[in-house]
Amino acid sequence: NKMKSKWEAEKSEISKIREVREQIDHLRHELEEAENNYDLNKAAELRHGKIPAVEKELLELEAENREKTAQEDRILQEEVTENEIAEIVGRWTGIPVTKLVEGEREKLLKLADVLHQKVIGQDDAVRLVSDAVLRARAGIKDPKRPIGSFIFLGPTGVGKTELAKALAFNMFDSEDHMIRIDMSEYMEKHSVSRLVGAPPGYIGYEEGGQLTEAVRRNPYSIVLLDEIEKAHPDVFNILLQVLDDGRITDSQGRLIDFKNTVIIMTSNIGSNLLLERTEDGEISPELEEDVMQILQSEFKPEFLNRVDDIILFKPLTLADIKGIVEKLVEELQIRLADQEISISISDAAKAFIAEEAYDPVYGARPLKRYIVRHVETPLAREIVSGRVFPHSSVEIDLLDNEFTFKVNE
């Protein structure tokens, strides 16, 4: 078949290059023998005739191969590049490929802009996180500590977890580089040991700790500790060591390095105040001070002093929700593009979605459910019934507060 023919042609080209290289090695060996035997005629013929001719042939073959590689997708490669090496090393170590190959300067300078596109309505939070990462990567911060450590405060559904995911993707190339731990599972004293592993002789000793084992296997990660206020006080003794020294010893005596992690702790402390007193999407200095007082009453000073930044997330406004609707619609368009189906949603329909799903208490969470129920489900019904098929386009509009779906072939 076509693929096999392409593979055989590429293999033939690479084999030819290898044969010519072997021929050059053989001729150089002959030259060395001729010079050792004082056979000057043969040595001159090899040095000035045969070897240059074969080397020229090799250069032409290599140039042709490089040109073809640049112009088309190749099944085989004649040489291993730094990308392949980085891919293998990345697989072994958990270090992202781009971190091994590319410089980080451009990525760091664009970090805030990229995060703004992912997280809507939290400009101050994005700026503070980006600045902290920038300081760490510039070498200004203590190299022994984690890249950054933050407490994210705010109501549910305002983008705390979304910012952590976006940071994982942009710093470490994948959202899989986010270790998420629900701290409500560590409310009891006896459960705290699960973070670093059960003591010798106890069930689960060989499995390692839920926190330490995850970081050991994936040292370049965002560590997200959800609802930190629910954790038992003993948890903070472990976190103090991580925040201070950038490392911790697990139950098996292994030293786990946290220097390449970003520690993010989320909390709903002060959410009621933020919901009640945030005006026009802005947090006043007085409100911030009141929230900080509540935080200081919940956590010890030695813990709060070791955190790089405490970041307040404001409740989302209707304008923010409209921006998130745009983002969710774009994501839906990308998913449908895989099936070669295009959709467009009118501005009136988008505004209606935002207004109907807007709830300051729950933030953006109801928005996804609303779009799934009122847009994706009817669209899925049209696709399964065959009324919407590949290469067709769907126009979604609003009529008498109901969504209409018009299919164009």
The alpha carbon of residue 211 and the mean position of all alpha carbons in its chain are separated, in whole angstroms, by: 19
Phi, psi of 92 (to 5 degrees): -70, -40
CATH node for 318-408? 1.10.8.60
The reported pLDDT for the residue numbered 150 is 94
How far is the C-alpha of 354 from the C-alpha of 351, rounded, in Å? 5
- Would you give per-residue pLDDT tens digits along the chain (409 residues)? 677 787 788 888 888 888 999 999 999 999 999 888 888 888 998 888 999 999 999 898 888 887 877 777 766 666 666 667 767 766 666 666 555 455 566 777 788 888 988 899 898 899 988 888 888 777 677 788 898 899 999 999 899 999 999 999 888 878 888 999 999 999 998 888 889 887 766 666 667 789 999 999 888 899 999 999 999 999 999 999 999 999 998 888 889 999 989 999 999 998 889 888 887 778 888 999 999 999 999 999 999 999 999 999 998 888 889 999 999 999 999 999 888 899 999 999 999 999 998 888 888 888 999 999 999 999 999 889 888 888 889 999 988 888 999 888 7
Using DSSP, state whether 265 is helix, strand or coil: strand
How far is the C-alpha of 62 from the C-alpha of 405, rounded, in Å? 56
Neighbours of 160 (CB within 10 A): 26
The reported pLDDT for the residue numbered 374 is 92
Looking at domain 110-312, its CATH superfamily turns out to be P-loop containing nucleotide triphosphate hydrolases (3.40.50.300)
Instruction: Provide the terminal-to-terminal Cα distance of the chain, rounded to the nearest Å.
Output: 34
The reported pLDDT for the residue numbered 281 is 75
Torsion of CA 225, 231, 236, 241, to 10 degrees: -40
The reported pLDDT for the residue numbered 359 is 85
Task: Identify residue 2 by its one-letter amino acid code.
Answer: K
The reported pLDDT for the residue numbered 100 is 45
Beta strands 393-399; 261-267: pairing state: unpaired
Q: What would the DSSP string read from start to end of 91-114?
A: HHH---HHHHHS-SHHHHHTHHHH
How far is the C-alpha of 149 from the C-alpha of 235, rounded, in Å? 16
Residue tagged 């409310």 (tokens): 187
Q: Which residues contact 400 (CB under 8 A, 6 or more apart)?
A: none
CA distances from 206 to 38, 46, 247 (A): 69, 65, 20
Residue length of the chain:
409
How far is the C-alpha of 262 from the C-alpha of 150, rounded, in Å? 8
Q: Which of 250, 239, 258 is nearest to 206 (CA)?
A: 250
